[in-house]
Structure 1
């Protein structure tokens, strides 16, 4: 499965063509799916352009994106940077009026299990975000409900293209006890493409988009999420074919 991560916590200062509004995210999702994405992950933004878990903003973007890509699963973030207080984060999840298909929960953040429980209570799939270089894997594997997650996001924080694949292999070894859950492996910035190649060679789920990287494999600036998805699809096909 190839997931398109359309915007992340980036801002327009980092990427002038970053999709921010519901209409922009809907258009980006449409072209990314046409390019081969099978799932969408996005960060709803408030009027100030920053990430938000506000029910009205979440509803607006989900309605717009689902209208653009009917039948495609759509997920959102629950990152602590959007709402630092874990209790408020849980309350926001419980007050959502339009529900995503899934939502990511970062296991190195305080309140991860409570946020995940709130999502599961509402029938929302949990993507367990496990950052390399943290204690997240240990914390996640000790959670009694870990078997209920939709998938595990193995997130490589090392951005060095030479060392990130080794960090990825190490994290995958840590997550070996979670083999009952699908694993989506991804990197960021300069390491995004090497890690995606590793995911392809191991036949793992992967993701790509302007959240993770702004450049194509040849180093040129990506014009859109669709450009990144198309390039990732080519790598995945070659990786699977050559394994």
Structure 2
């Protein structure tokens, strides 16, 4: 499975093509799915272009994107930077009027289990974000409901390609030591393409998009999420 991550926590000044508004997210998702993406991950934004879990913003983003790519799963973030405190993030999840198909939960953040519980209780799939270089894997694997997540996101934070591959190898050994949910492996910035190739070679789920990288494999700046998806498809055996 190839997921497109449309925008992430980036701001528009990092990338002129970054989709921010519901309409922009819808257009970007439509083009990315046409290029070969099978799943969409996005960060709803407020009027200042910052990530938010506010119900109206989540509803607007999801409604627009689903109209553009009917039948394609769409997920959002619950990152701690979006809303201060796990209790408030749980409250946001419980107040959503339009539900995503899945939502990512970063397991190195305080309150990850309570946020994940709130998502599961509402029937929302959980993507368990496990950052390399943290104790997230241990915390996640010790959670009694870990078997119920939709997938695990093995998120490699090292941006030097060789260091990222080394970190990915160690993290995967920990995550794949016993049968469990499917794993989506991805990197970021200079390591994004090396990690994507690794994921493809191992038959793991993958993702690419402006959240993770702003350049194509040859180092040239990308024009869109769709260009990144096409490049990824060209690299997948």
TM-score (normalizing by structure 2): 0.99
Q: Find the residue that maps to 1:163 and give its secondary structure.
A: helix
Deviation at 1:178, TM superposition (A): 5.1
Contact 1:141–1:177 (Cα < 8 Å) also in 2: no
2:179 is the counterpart of 1:184: no
Instruction: Within 5 Å, give how 1:1-243 maps onto structure 2.
Output: 1-177=1-177, 179-236=179-236, 238=237
Q: CA deviation at 1:176?
A: 1.7
Q: How far apart in 1 are the matches of 2:180 and 2:106?
A: 19
- What is the CA distance between 1:177 and its match in structure 2? 3.7
1:149 and 1:181 in contact (8 A); partners too: yes
Distance 1:175 1:104 in 2: 17
What's the CA shift for 1:234? 1.1
Cα distance in 2, alignment partners of residues 95 and 69 from structure 1: 25
User: Quick one: distance in 2 between partners of 1:164 and 1:88?
Assistant: 33
CA contact (8 A) 1:147 1:178 kept: no
Per-residue CA deviations over 1:71-114 (Å, capped at 9, x if unaligned) read: 00000000000012110000000000000000000000001000
Show CA shifts across 1:9-42 (max 9, x none): 0001111110000000000000000000000000
Question: For 2:187 and 2:179, how far apart are their aligned partners in 1?
Answer: 20
Q: Structure 2 vs 1, CA of residues 178 and 146 (structure 1 numbering), >3 Å: closer, same or farther?
A: farther
SS of residue in 1 equivalent to 2:14 = coil
Q: How many residues align?
A: 237
The whole-number CA distance in structure 1 between the counterparts of 2:138 and 2:85 is 23
Provide, for residues 197-234 of structure 1, a one-character-per-residue CA deviation record: whole Å limited to 9, x for no partner: 00000000000000000000000000000000000011
Distance in 2 separating the partners of 1:164 and 1:178: 23
Question: Distance between the aligned counterparts of 1:184 and 1:84, measured in 2?
Answer: 27
Is the contact made by 1:141 and 1:178 (CA closer than 8 Å) also made in structure 2? no
Deviation at 1:179, TM superposition (A): 2.9
Distance 2:178 2:84 in 1: 28
Q: Which runs of 5+ in 1 are unaligned?
A: 239-243
Aligned mates of 1:178, 1:63 — CA distance in 2: 37
Q: Contact 1:53/1:89 (CA < 8 Å) preserved in 2?
A: yes
